[in-house]
């Protein structure tokens, strides 16, 4: 089942990047970050932030040997697909460890792979917190089996992918405390919280000079976890109202209902994903409450674990296998319904209705591929977003209009780069607004570029001096 899923989505994500369906945000950001880390460099020009001023993606250094061998977006995307597919294994093994029958233990793993959010995690392409999920699930399994060395190793690796995972690790420690594993729980909670606070309250700000950029996600609720906690204590209705919005209710429904709502019967397990889910709901940005983006990765992992534990509770406490089998059947049906109604796989309605995956109908695809070959390795480039991930293995690659105009750069547009360093411009005029088109044409004139390709709406220009 996992291999089938991996092959299916592996083909889809390969095609998406190959057909210029990947973008500077976030594929270009992370691909350049990995390439830079492998070469002892760190300033991500796609984002205008240093690697450790953006996120604490320590695990990127694990990928250095692959980058030295030429690995790029395809490798990162397939790595993520393999990781998502592999999540089925610890979920199944956890079910077997909890005395579920082989077929019943298979259901939560199948529900995870069928979940619409899992497909969208693959569709959105490489994100570090998504790659952390199989390690987090593995750490949970190791804890269930009291294999504490494996627990420590897997949890540390999970947290090394992104600092947000430390919050999930903290609540995993809280769960272990409730289960009587006091020593391991306290170490887990203390170290996880210490790492999260170190990264968010010191490291990011020390590197970028401004702090964590996502602190601004919460508007007047506060600019830090402590501020938000103060708001929750002093005026809890402001927090509660966030849960009553249409997009929050829809997000929670789409996340939980494909598991037949069963994870809610294991609330302590589901709490592993609580801090991320809470941040998603409180954010001023509606895209955090959308199952199509990576913000759902950690809540999804917690729900999958909750699904296993709920089935195990009914199996072990009631000792009536037919009840557990019935609940597993309900979960399987709801999982298939969720995949059909909201999923992005070929059997989902979204696959046909909205065209999430690039097809073969782009008349400029050959011109795009040729345009990319015109730009020499190492030369500084400013490119429209669909070209960025195809040119990100260099020190200076900007998502246009940067550096000629400021957009999505740094925290508040600080540390702007000199436009005179750019040697090449490449753009798809068809996706540019009038304002960006004017800036592009002005850059060609003001900085003495000559057009070397103009065909099918694709323009490539080279500096002449």
Number of domains in the chain: 2
* Domain shared by 331 and 376, yes or no: no
* Domain shared by 339 and 369, yes or no: no
Residue 24 burial by Cβ neighbours in a 10 Å radius (0-12, 13-18, 19+): buried
**Helix axis angle, 297-313 to 102-114, nearest 10°:** 160
* Domain shared by 370 and 323, yes or no: no
Give the helix, strand, coil percentages of the chain, each rounded to 5: 65, 5, 25
* Residue 353, domain member (yes or no): no
Tell if the pTM clears 0.85, that is, is over it: yes
Distance CA 306, CA 112 (A): 11
* Domain shared by 20 and 93, yes or no: yes
Indicate the residue among 348, 381, 400 that finishes a domain.
Answer: 348
* Domain shared by 344 and 420, yes or no: no
* Domain shared by 399 and 304, yes or no: no
* Domain shared by 149 and 222, yes or no: yes
* Domain shared by 343 and 373, yes or no: no
* Residue 356, domain member (yes or no): no
Host domain of residue 397: 365-463
* Domain shared by 92 and 12, yes or no: yes
**399 SS3 class:** strand
- pLDDT value at residue 407: 93
* Residue 360, domain member (yes or no): no
**Helix axis angle, 2-18 to 102-114, nearest 10°:** 10
* Domain shared by 417 and 308, yes or no: no
* Domain shared by 252 and 285, yes or no: yes
* Residue 355, domain member (yes or no): no
* Domain shared by 254 and 403, yes or no: no
pLDDT tens figures, 382-426: 999 999 999 999 999 999 999 999 999 999 888 899 999 999 999
Q: Please answer whether residues 35 and 393 qualify as being in contact, where contact means their C-beta atoms are separated by less than 8 angstroms.
A: yes
Indicate the residue among 313, 348, 383 that finishes a domain.
Answer: 348
pLDDT tens figures, 355-385: 799 988 899 999 999 999 999 999 999 999 9
* Residue 82, domain member (yes or no): yes
Q: Which residues of the chain have pLDDT under 50?
A: none
* Residue 359, domain member (yes or no): no
């Amino acid at each position: 089942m996992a291999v089938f899923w991996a092959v299916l989505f592996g083909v889809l994500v390969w095609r998406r990047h190959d057909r210029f369906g990947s973008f500077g945000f976030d594929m270009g950001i992370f691909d350049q970050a990995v390439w830079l880390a492998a070469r002892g460099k760190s300033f991500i020009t796609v984002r205008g932030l240093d690697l450790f001023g953006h996120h604490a993606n320590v695990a990127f250094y694990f990928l250095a040997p692959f980058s030295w061998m030429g690995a790029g977006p395809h490798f990162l995307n397939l790595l993520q697909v393999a990781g998502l597919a592999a999540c089925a294994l610890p979920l199944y093994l956890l079910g077997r460890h909890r005395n579920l029958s082989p077929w019943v233990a298979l259901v939560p793993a199948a529900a995870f792979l069928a979940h619409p959010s899992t497909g969208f995690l693959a569709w959105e392409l490489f994100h570090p917190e998504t790659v952390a999920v199989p390690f987090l699930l593995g750490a949970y399994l190791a804890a269930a089996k009291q294999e504490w060395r494996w627990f420590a190793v897997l949890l540390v690796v999970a947290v090394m992918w992104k600092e947000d995972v430390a919050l999930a690790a903290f609540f995993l420690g809280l769960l272990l405390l409730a289960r009587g594993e006091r020593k391991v729980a306290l170490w887990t909670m203390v170290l996880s919280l210490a790492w999260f606070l170190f990264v968010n309250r010191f490291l990011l700000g020390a590197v970028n000079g401004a702090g964590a950029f996502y602190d601004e996600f919460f508007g007047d609720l506060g600019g830090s976890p402590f501020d938000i906690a103060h708001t929750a204590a002093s005026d809890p209705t402001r927090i509660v109202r966030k849960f009553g919005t249409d997009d929050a209710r829809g997000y929670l429904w789409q996340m939980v209902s494909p598991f037949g709502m069963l994870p809610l019967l294991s609330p302590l397990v589901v709490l592993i994903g609580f801090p991320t889910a809470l941040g998603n709901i409180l954010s001023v940005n509606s895209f955090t409450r959308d199952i199509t983006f990576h913000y759902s990765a950690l809540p999804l992992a917690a729900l999958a674990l909750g699904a296993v534990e709920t089935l195990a509770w009914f199996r072990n406490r009631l000792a009536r296998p037919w009840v557990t089998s019935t609940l597993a059947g309900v979960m399987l049906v709801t999982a298939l319904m969720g995949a059909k109604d909201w999923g992005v796989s070929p059997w989902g309605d979204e696959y046909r209705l909205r065209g999430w995956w690039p097809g073969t109908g782009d008349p400029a695809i050959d011109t795009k591929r040729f345009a990319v070959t015109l730009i020499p390795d190492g030369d500084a480039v400013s490119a429209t977003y669909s070209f960025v991930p195809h040119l990100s293995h260099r020190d200076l690659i900007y998502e246009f209009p940067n550096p000629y105009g400021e957009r999505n750069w740094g925290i508040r547009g600080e540390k702007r780069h000199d436009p005179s360093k750019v040697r090449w411009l490449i753009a798809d005029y068809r996706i540019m607004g009038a304002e960006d088109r004017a800036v592009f044409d002005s850059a060609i004139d003001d900085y003495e570029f000559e057009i070397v390709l103009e065909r099918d709406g694709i323009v490539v220009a080279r500096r002449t001096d």
